[in-house]
Amino acid sequence: DVKVTQSSRYLVKRTGEKVFLECVQDMDHENMFWYRQDPGLGLRLIYFSYDVKMKEKGDIPEGYSVSREKKERFSLILESASTNQTSMYLCASSGRGRGANTEAFFGQGTRLTVV
Amino acid sequence: LAKTTQPISMDSYEGQEVNITCSHNNIATNDYITWYQQFPSQGPRFIIQGYKTKVTNEVASLFIPADRKSSTLSLPRVSLSDTAVYYCLVAFTGGGNKLTFGTGTQLKVEL
């Protein structure tokens, strides 16, 4: 069974803390994505990566950075957490090739609360 | 990337067929159309994908007219468990690219 695993289901952090959200996939996928989801705003893409050490900005990258040192792992970093980053964070991965890269598999999400 | 427009919400009753239409006026030649389903507190799940005409699988059908400027997801005989948010995406499938979701369509199925 394919799997995208996010390190935490729930997380509470203080304003100003550096926060790491980890995502691991076991499908040998080239593409990995980080989204945040807020009520009424749908899923918004923060960053994505199409290969190891490669990263591309999504639609809302401000306040975030990412790291992809290994193919299976994609980390989202909040350098200095703020309350407006309280949200559900979703990681996804997809393969390469016609049709495959738009069939994404999602993790269960991390609900982050910044206080 | 092609932008998509779909209704914010739809209501239906069990046993009915539900059709959700997505507009994508500036779809590119190499773009495919993909639909996802999301239940509360879960990540989205891939449902179906197509390029033109009609695609059918065990879950849904996808109808794409010749001009490809819109597409319709058809759910036959819905049940309460089909209550979810449905997202339409348009993206190039030939390589690494960002997958941009919109706000989706909240489908509510009642008895």
Give me the residue spans of the domains in chain A. 4-97+109-114
| Interface contact flag, B99 A45, Cβ < 8 Å | yes
Element (H, E) at B35: strand B31-38
Contact (Cβ atoms closer than 8 angstroms) between residue B7 and residue B106: no
| Interface contact flag, B93 A98, Cβ < 8 Å | yes
Sheet holding A64-70, edge to edge: A4-6, A19-25, A73-78, A64-70
Mean pLDDT score, A51-57? 92
pLDDT value at position B76?
94
- Is the four-CA dihedral B91, B92, B94, B95 of positive or negative sign? negative
| Interface contact flag, B98 A43, Cβ < 8 Å | no
Q: B59: which chain A residues are within 8 Å (Cβ-Cβ)?
A: none
pLDDT, tens only, B30-52: 888 999 999 988 899 999 999 99
pLDDT value at position A47?
95
Domains, chain B, in order of start with CATH, read 9-110 (2.60.40.10)
User: Would the pLDDT of A99 be above 80?
Assistant: no
pLDDT interval class at B1 (50, 70, 90): low
Q: A40: which chain B residues are within 8 Å (Cβ-Cβ)?
A: 103
Nearest to A21 by CA among A100, A83, A103, A88: A88
The total number of residues shown for chain A amounts to 115
Mean pLDDT score, B82-110? 85
SS3 content of chain B, % helix, strand, coil (to 5): 5, 50, 50
Virtual torsion, Cα A37, A108, A56, B29, nearest 10 deg = -80
Q: Which two tokens stand for residue A98?
A: 């016609």
User: Would the pLDDT of B14 be above 70?
Assistant: yes
Q: A71: which chain B residues are within 8 Å (Cβ-Cβ)?
A: none
- From B50, which residue of chain A is nearest by alpha-carbon distance? A99
Q: Which two tokens stand for residue A66?
A: 């990412």
Q: Residue A94 corresponds to which amino acid?
A: S
3-state secondary structure of A95: coil
pLDDT value at position B30?
81
Nearest to B82 by CA among B8, B6, B4, B20: B20
| Interface contact flag, A45 B101, Cβ < 8 Å | yes
| Interface contact flag, A104 B44, Cβ < 8 Å | yes
Question: Among A80-84, B47-51, B97-101, which is the least confidently predicted range?
Answer: B97-101
Q: Residue A80 corresponds to which amino acid?
A: S
Record: fold of A4-97+109-114:
Immunoglobulin-like (2.60.40)
Mean pLDDT score, B56-60? 94
The Cα B98–Cα A3 span in angstroms is 20
